[in-house]
Amino acid sequence: MRGFVSRPKTDLPARRGKLDVGAAVGRGILCVMRVPATPGPPYRSIVPLVSGEIGVDVARYLVDSEQTPSVVGVGVWVEPDGRVGAAGGYLLQAMPDASDGAIDRLEANVAAAPTPSELVREGLDASGMLARLMHGLAPHDLERRPVAYRCRCTRGRALGACVAMGREELEHVLASDRRAEVVCEFCGERYEIEEGELRGILDGGSPGSGS
């Protein structure tokens, strides 16, 4: 999953000691597109944002569009210097055969639990967080997958972006700066494209084959 914020420098006063994400996001829509594994048209659903808070709006989407009662919690703890100190989240959904008692117990556990970022700061991993939220419901792991912070951007894709600039703009870059800088809008990685590579693109060579 990747995403970017169009105005990353937005700065608003804290609300009840937390980042006021809802006020920063404001009004808008949440659009979700699902592409089926088998041949067929993609399914798209659009719902209005109800709060601007990510967890609340995703949970509302799941209830309204997929008729699946869900609890979504996401949180990030930001240090005074702006660094991310802790971040975490969870998605809990009731299965079709869940009893009313189990759902009531889950709702009570979630209401009594600290925020996701606080759970992470306490040292809880995914299993520990699940055990806290599902206390009294005997949870067990079905599958585990590793996750990592990385982006799919590459130098090859950066060169492809230069190709998409078109001949006129590339000639302007060569006449002025003699090099180009491509910045990934997702992770911020910077790629310096040198003059030889740009001329190679203009001469009809493949990206990266400049002479």
Q: What are the pLDDT digits (tens) for 91-116?
A: 998 888 888 899 899 999 999 999 88
Tokens of 178: 């003699």
For residues 116 and 68, state if they share a domain.
yes
Question: Any idea what the CATH number is for the domain that residue 163 is in?
Answer: 3.90.1280.10
Q: Does residue 169 lie in a domain region?
A: yes
Total domains in the fold of the chain: 2
Q: Are 29 and 47 in contact (CB under 8 A)?
A: yes
Domain range for 186 is 155-202
Q: How far, in whole angstroms, is CA 176 from its chain's centroid?
A: 36
Question: Any idea what the CATH number is for the domain that residue 121 is in?
Answer: 3.55.30.10
Q: Are 151 and 189 in contact (CB under 8 A)?
A: yes
For residues 126 and 180, state if they share a domain.
no
CA separation, residue 188 to residues 8, 138, 153, 179 (Å): 12, 42, 10, 18
User: Would the pTM count as exceeding 0.85?
Assistant: no
pLDDT in tens, 125-166: 888 999 999 999 988 888 888 888 888 899 999 998 888 888
Q: Does residue 67 lie in a domain region?
A: yes
Q: Does residue 176 lie in a domain region?
A: yes
Q: Does residue 91 lie in a domain region?
A: yes
Alpha-carbon distance of 50 to 61, in angstroms, equals: 10
